[in-house]
Structure 1
């Protein structure tokens, strides 16, 4: 049977996830189908076998497992209430490839098609795909049901195929493509799903105490080598184990597998919807200041103050100082006796509505009673975003009624669709403006078969010089302190241009390194349009020219963009010299906001190695700045030329600092877990791409995060 090698299968999964993300109620640990107990593969289940349970919505779990010469590190994420995704890296000491232990990367997906309801007879039911994008040694599918008998006891039973039907076979359906040692893997082998031998499995989990859970299962799972022999010495189909909760987010699990092997697992979890330090400890905002009744104090409603020349400097000073205490920088202002427009930079709050709520309350205290209309325009890279217009009377009326009535009354419009308000002036001293920072950095390369984890730790000195509105000169220099990122100094053997696979050479010779040094111009060519032009050292491996145009209406969930780059490869020392390789690369892109924090992206175009193809991605973003997503890129590079993994794919995670500190901050740290860094499907990494900047101030994103307006 031929393997199906198509990004269409991956995009279908992403689309399904987006469509069902909002379906069904938000589940919590009190619901019977929710668990925090994981299998030895790092997925919700018993020991070796899955269950129909899911993690709590949004939960992230990481595990490290050791069993019978197999070491597994896994990462699982509850993408939606009924969809669980997992990435796993395994090293099998007793399975040798080219004289080295087998290193395997695999992805899992589980869909909970039926939820268990308290007091009802039907169980939770799930369908799962194990190692459906890996090299295939763990590949298997299953259908499983789980029933809660009591608050402490749950039973599971199901049918397994492939790697979940190595023992106790009860029948067979069709033919299944066998695992081929040395296969590049990484392809969607849909023709073999639910084919071949099938076996029945089952098990139970008993919560003996608040911390201890006992498990037993009849396991049909097994993992064979190229000779067809099981990798563990199975003496019994029965597995027994216990799961001890060390603390709320940490578990230690031990198990006796197959009557011969002992397994140990340590797991950690967190949930982006539940900050590590609670709701946060930022300073409480000022309350809304009410106005006197017009009849009792008509002088307070007089508009003569607006025509007094002495008003402007005093108002600028009062508003600027009050906003600065909130991490908000007043850039420009225009006012009349009845209205005011502020253009500002938000340096503190990830959720733009939180910044707007704080500014609005400042305005109610600083402005005369005659001012009824507040227009707030956030500025990014010197370019104004959408204009959010609020009525002061709505703020006074709805301060204690929640944020929804304020959003319903707000007007959100495109600043480029109308002339600037009369009298709009930038505050003195806003441009030019220089800022800098010194911070640590961590650069990791994971899952290379020859060195599963390499990386460097060092310092990054960053600087930014805002020359004028829209003009930004910025750069960063890195200095490694310690690490092994440049341990492998041999050039890549890739048959493609080495646009990414020589990363170890860059890590070895780039110390110190100019990470980037660019001059960028951001503009508004017209209504609904945004532009960027960047020149210089665009990233650590390439320099050149990058141009981008984005169409994004303020009220639309859809955005369309195009990017064109001419770049030349930088030398390994990452200073000012270049190598001979140059390429024209670029993409046309479609972005869609599905709501509830889900964002989809489709890029089609030419990549750094000169290959043509497409990237599909789905990300889930939380109000507090967490962002987790998956992507897959397939181009006209063959699986053989691409190398192990067949095509580029991975999981990307962005974590906000505020989640752990409790202090509001826009700083984040991010990483991408990919099977391997290959040359096929490689995109240019340039700062300041428009969509993620622009959408923060548009209606769909504001609506998703408006709950923080009064915070």
Structure 2
């Protein structure tokens, strides 16, 4: 039977060889089975992995924010060990939480291999922590890897630690279990082992095979697990079901089967769905209308600008040969697409006296940026008479400034708006296992004027498993977040938001906002924020100050006794590799003082990947398991996933634990995100959408 199967695999040998594929290992991250490789997925790759190798069930998400940096976070269920006492967690198995990172040190060349440095379990309990150097070299359809590892991957301990010649502290590796801290005190300590292997891309592009020699002998498993290893050689295969789904199977330790599945996509290379539910852009006329500016039906122009270009018009003005539209974009995530559609509508509506179209984008009456394009060049590009580059060179983005102009039309404000949607909440990693809720959400907004508004959100439970939510984490601080269970289980209908806000442009580069009400699901209060965002600079500075009081568990109008003054000064700056750093200093909800560092990468299509860490005056004992606040997040524009244009986002946040230390107020409106379009980066990166 085995020989006949092998013959079938060899039948297509006359076919052209497929390009070798980069696949995930058992733990998450590019690799073989139990071991990592130096390979990196393309920038923008997201992989969701699940596999089973008795007694471990592993669930991980791997992200590739940069072409040389890989990050993963993972839950491991040790299914033959309980989370705790039966009174605490019932029959729940032990859950380990971990964060991994891998950095490319050297790119493969004709002679030199690819080299990477990696850390497994750097921000978890340390049960599977490991550090490694690994190199890869590709020969035709074979990709060979070899490395050296300390910790879990190198538990066999093949030889004495070479770093022991530097200091004898490297000779022994300290035991780390359950701390949740960064395990820097154990890095590169203890006896290391060698590991390596090879992957083979078969002539059938759907199938790749793996063979590895691992450095773990399974004699020092977490939680004193007794696992038998008959062989350090593992064999496996990966089958590509579709471009987005991989199935894996392997024979590991010489005695145990592994089965797994990986779902993956790439936010850089993938194409967003065709916008089949968007209105068709207006075609350009053969020649401009001859109607005078006084005879134009501006009310009809305003209606078309909203329905087709997404702009809720405030007013339309003229300055010499320039026509200016002031409005707030409410549909299109990519401003270039909105400006192009608005220009088509204006070109269809006004005579040849107008040479320039300018759109001033506003957000709650905050003037953000004005985009101006030459009418004639725009027409020539749309009619394929000039290349897109000609329009790119002549289109201008400038800070929105007051002009001496003639107002042609003013739109009456629309006061009330509302929407409905599906909400999702999850909590995972505690003794209660995976908890979830789907809800029906209704949001509403009433604008008293263009920059003063009320906003509210009502959430009604549809389905959840919160009946399993019985555990309240211990805390040495005021319970500002660890009362999560009560907030999720007390009422089936909640009011997460009921807020009054007012925003203003205080100076050319200075914005301000005041707000009050029920600001989030756990806190109500009042606050203010200012932001200095200079035009043309890659940095900004903001500050917020809030007095808040804890809300009742049912998230109605009642309040509890706890109150606190909280606020931060935050600096934002661009870093190399299209990354953004935000550093906040201030006071947190539990009264602790400290600093939060947030590093993120935004891709050309608006997908953002980031991580944060917070260190405060709260001691490790006060904070509890985890020692400090940290987490990862992924923000995806719905525009990338839907067949209709929208400005909404899906925000996915992963924090290993819910704790009170380093907890910040979760505000719905923040000036930095409200003024993002001032930079113009997204406009130029997606400039081709101006023709859509």
Fold match, TM over 0.5? yes
Please tell me whether the aligned partners of residues 202 and 218 of structure 1 are also in contact (alpha carbons under 8 angstroms).
Answer: yes
Q: What is the aligned-residue RMSD (CA, Å)? A: 2.6
- The separation in 2 between residues aligned to 1:649 and 1:31, in whole angstroms, is 41
Are residues 1:354 and 2:346 paired?
A: no
Q: Note the C-alpha offset of 1:489.
A: 5.1
- 1:388–1:479 Cα change, 3 Å: same
Secondary structure of 1:608 counterpart: coil
Q: Name the structure 1 match of 2:586.
A: 605
Q: Note the C-alpha offset of 1:381.
A: 1.8
- The separation in 1 between residues aligned to 2:565 and 2:483, in whole angstroms, is 20
Q: 2:113 aligns with which of 109, 115, 123?
A: 123
- 1:349–1:650 Cα change, 3 Å: same
- 1:31–1:585 Cα change, 3 Å: farther
Q: Note the C-alpha offset of 1:31.
A: 12
- The separation in 1 between residues aligned to 2:218 and 2:546, in whole angstroms, is 46
Please tell me whether the aligned partners of residues 351 and 623 of structure 1 are also in contact (alpha carbons under 8 angstroms).
Answer: no
Secondary structure of 1:251 counterpart: strand
- State how 1:441-590 maps to structure 2 within 5 Å: 441-448=423-430, 450-485=431-466, 487-488=468-469, 492-590=473-571
Are residues 1:413 and 2:398 paired?
A: yes
- 1:489–1:128 Cα change, 3 Å: closer
Please tell me whether the aligned partners of residues 240 and 255 of structure 1 are also in contact (alpha carbons under 8 angstroms).
Answer: yes
- The separation in 2 between residues aligned to 1:505 and 1:376, in whole angstroms, is 48
Q: Note the C-alpha offset of 1:492.
A: 4.5
Q: 1:90 aligns with which of 76, 79, 82?
A: 76
Q: Note the C-alpha offset of 1:481.
A: 1.6
Q: Note the C-alpha offset of 1:63.
A: 0.6
Q: Name the structure 1 match of 2:152.
A: 163
Q: 1:627 aligns with which of 604, 608, 620?
A: 608
- The separation in 2 between residues aligned to 1:616 and 1:368, in whole angstroms, is 53
Q: Note the C-alpha offset of 1:279.
A: 5.2
Please tell me whether the aligned partners of residues 241 and 253 of structure 1 are also in contact (alpha carbons under 8 angstroms).
Answer: yes
Question: Which stretches in structure 1 are left out of the alignment for 5+ residues?
Answer: 1-29, 293-298
- The separation in 2 between residues aligned to 1:36 and 1:108, in whole angstroms, is 18
Q: 1:305 aligns with which of 292, 295, 303?
A: 292
- The separation in 2 between residues aligned to 1:31 and 1:146, in whole angstroms, is 19
- 1:566–1:404 Cα change, 3 Å: farther
Q: Note the C-alpha offset of 1:183.
A: 3.6
Please tell me whether the aligned partners of residues 521 and 534 of structure 1 are also in contact (alpha carbons under 8 angstroms).
Answer: yes
- State how 1:48-87 maps to structure 2 within 5 Å: 48-87=34-73
Q: 2:598 aligns with which of 599, 603, 617?
A: 617
Q: Name the structure 2 match of 1:383.
A: 366
Please tell me whether the aligned partners of residues 141 and 193 of structure 1 are also in contact (alpha carbons under 8 angstroms).
Answer: yes
- 1:438–1:647 Cα change, 3 Å: same
- The separation in 1 between residues aligned to 2:398 and 2:205, in whole angstroms, is 53
Q: Note the C-alpha offset of 1:375.
A: 1.8
Q: Name the structure 2 match of 1:638.
A: 619
TM-score w.r.t. structure 1 length? 0.87
- The separation in 1 between residues aligned to 2:571 and 2:484, in whole angstroms, is 30
- The separation in 2 between residues aligned to 1:685 and 1:228, in whole angstroms, is 37
Q: Name the structure 2 match of 1:39.
A: 25
- State how 1:302-451 maps to structure 2 within 5 Å: 305-306=292-293, 308=294, 310-311=295-296, 314-399=297-382, 400=384, 401=386, 403-415=388-400, 418-424=401-407, 427-431=410-414, 433-448=415-430, 450-451=431-432
Q: 2:246 aligns with which of 247, 251, 266?
A: 251
- The separation in 2 between residues aligned to 1:691 and 1:55, in whole angstroms, is 31
Secondary structure of 2:63 counterpart: strand
Q: Please list the CA deviations of residues 540-576 of structure 1 after superposition, one character each: whole Å capped at 9, or x if unmatched.
A: 1000012110011232211110011110000001111
Q: Note the C-alpha offset of 1:290.
A: 7.1
Q: Please list the CA deviations of residues 597-653 of structure 1 after superposition, one character each: whole Å capped at 9, or x if unmatched.
A: 532211111110111111111222234332221111111111222122111111112
Are residues 1:204 and 2:194 paired?
A: no
Are residues 1:215 and 2:198 paired?
A: no
Aligned residues: 660
- 1:220–1:182 Cα change, 3 Å: closer
Please tell me whether the aligned partners of residues 71 and 102 of structure 2 are also in contact (alpha carbons under 8 angstroms).
Answer: yes
- The separation in 1 between residues aligned to 2:207 and 2:129, in whole angstroms, is 31
Q: Name the structure 2 match of 1:6.
A: none
- 1:179–1:231 Cα change, 3 Å: farther
- 1:291–1:585 Cα change, 3 Å: same
Secondary structure of 2:191 counterpart: strand
Question: Which stretches in structure 2 are left out of the alignment for 5+ residues?
Answer: 1-16, 86-91
Please tell me whether the aligned partners of residues 573 and 582 of structure 2 are also in contact (alpha carbons under 8 angstroms).
Answer: yes
Q: Note the C-alpha offset of 1:236.
A: 1.3
Please tell me whether the aligned partners of residues 490 and 505 of structure 1 are also in contact (alpha carbons under 8 angstroms).
Answer: no
Q: Note the C-alpha offset of 1:288.
A: 5.1
- 1:542–1:425 Cα change, 3 Å: farther
Are residues 1:104 and 2:85 paired?
A: no
- 1:231–1:106 Cα change, 3 Å: farther
Secondary structure of 1:66 counterpart: strand
- The separation in 1 between residues aligned to 2:130 and 2:69, in whole angstroms, is 17
- 1:134–1:227 Cα change, 3 Å: closer
Are residues 1:285 and 2:275 paired?
A: no
Secondary structure of 2:511 counterpart: strand
Q: Name the structure 2 match of 1:266.
A: 261
Q: Note the C-alpha offset of 1:419.
A: 3.0
- The separation in 2 between residues aligned to 1:519 and 1:414, in whole angstroms, is 28
